[in-house]
Amino acid sequence: MTLETPIVAPAMQLDRRADFPILQQQVRGQRLVYLDNGATTQKPGVVIEAERDFYEKSNANIHRGVHWLSQHSTDLYDNSREIAQAFLHAERVEEIVFTSGTTEGINLVAATWGRKHIQAGDEIILTMLEHHSNIVPWQLLAEEKGAVIKVVPILENGELDIEAYRGLLSDRTKFVGLVHVSNALGTINPVKEMTAMAHEVGAVVLIDGAQAVAHKVVDVKDLDCDFYVFSGHKIFGPTGTGVLYGKYKLLDAMPPWKGGGDMIHTVSFSGSTYAPVPQRFEAGTPNIAGVIVLARALQYVQEVGLEAIAAHENALLEYATALLAEMPGISIVGTAEHKAGVLSFLVKDIHPHDLGTILDMDGVAIRAGHHCAMPLMTHLGIPGTARASFALYNSFEDVDALASSLKKAQKLFGV
């Protein structure tokens, strides 16, 4: 296909591919083009080295030992909390709870704050763009308590219908769950505005930031959200790690969720008393190495600069959108005015799973399916999409490889 006006890639704004060892290999004899960052990000060498360094020099259990290694490991773990606090611009270090990821953070809030405050007849507002992790825990709670879930619809371009949201809010609204950036469409939601609207009716707000923190600056004080959650593996850190931010007054009033060591103050068979936050929510031996390595990943992102990352990924998204929009038979799903680095699309007469398999033969890794957003896909009347999602190490060459492989797939299927 020859375009009448060729689309030319702008000059590279970031060139960080060399930081990531996994990207130096070939896949199926092809240069690896990794465009599945919405599912998980690759890890820079400094993050991989941080994990090795911990186990070689610092490994010991924390908060319990008097020997040097235990104290040193404890210092590293506690310093990681300060790094996460600064990253999110939280008011207090006690507002940072380490979790296994976004899913656990949301379940923790539902099982503690939710069980304590949600009653029969109360209303929980979610949006059509939510990941299953911010739907199912609230469904379980609503079923248990007799609460009602209401859903904010979307406009044709994939943006939330803010006027409809305004109409759903009432004095019965007790909780609002909002995704910051849609993992399926890339829509950046106006969460600050929506949080303020929820607070006007006295509702508590949790923001799912899993797809936001690696792509834009997040300031929880500015957002004024009550809770904010994200996963380490989506911001160049290890799997099985994450952060729950909560306003101190809310966390301090919440009961424990999991019982065990390190979350207690005293224990007897007649009863127990509990540690202050955040230790109250971190029962048992935590993922010590994971938390310390996650902190190194947050530092790496800040060293590169989130503003530079956002500018680079926006340029990639604009370029990719323009290329695919010019290709016959390809339709882009989700055209919101404000998007992060996610491009969902359909190719006429080719199932997304087949497309993903064919692109893999060229070393191009994309995601195909419902992206844990089945209610959204049902609303759109499709089983799923193909999704290319960008990170700071992607390049315009990667986008060209995606477009070239898509053309091969269309030729193979005769479309």
pLDDT score for 2 = 38
Q: What 3-state class would DSSP assign to 345?
A: strand
Classify strands 367-369 and 264-268 as parallel, antiparallel or unpaired. Answer: unpaired
The pair of three-digit structure tokens given for residue 259, joined into one six-digit string = 């019982």
Segment 20-69, tens digit of pLDDT = 999 999 999 999 999 999 999 999 999 999 999 999 999 999 998 899 99
**What is the model's pLDDT at position 6?**
63
Q: What is the pLDDT of residues 236-262, one digit of tens each?
A: 999 999 999 999 999 999 999 999 998
In the prediction, which pLDDT does 363 show? Answer: 97
Counting every residue, how long is the chain? 415
Q: What is the amino acid identity at position 230?
A: F
Give the pairing type, strands 33-34 and 242-246. Answer: unpaired
- Give the pLDDT of residue 65: 87
User: H or E stretch including 10?
Assistant: none
Active site residue 225: no
Q: Which CATH superfamily is domain 17-43+305-413 in?
A: Aspartate Aminotransferase, domain 1 (3.90.1150.10)
Q: For residue 3, what pLDDT is reported?
A: 40
> Can you give the residue ranges of every domain in the chain?
17-43+305-413, 48-303
Low-confidence ranges of the chain (pLDDT < 70): 1-6, 8, 11-12
**Topology of domain 48-303, per CATH?**
Aspartate Aminotransferase; domain 2 (3.40.640)
Record the pTM: 0.96
* Cβ neighbours around 145 below 10 Å, total: 18
Cα torsion for 50, 316, 367, 208, to the nearest 10°?
A: 70
Distance CA 71, CA 74 (A): 5
What is the bridge-based pairing of β-strands 123-127 and 173-179? parallel
pLDDT at residue 328, as a whole number: 96
Q: Which of 39, 361, 372, 374 is catalytic?
A: 372
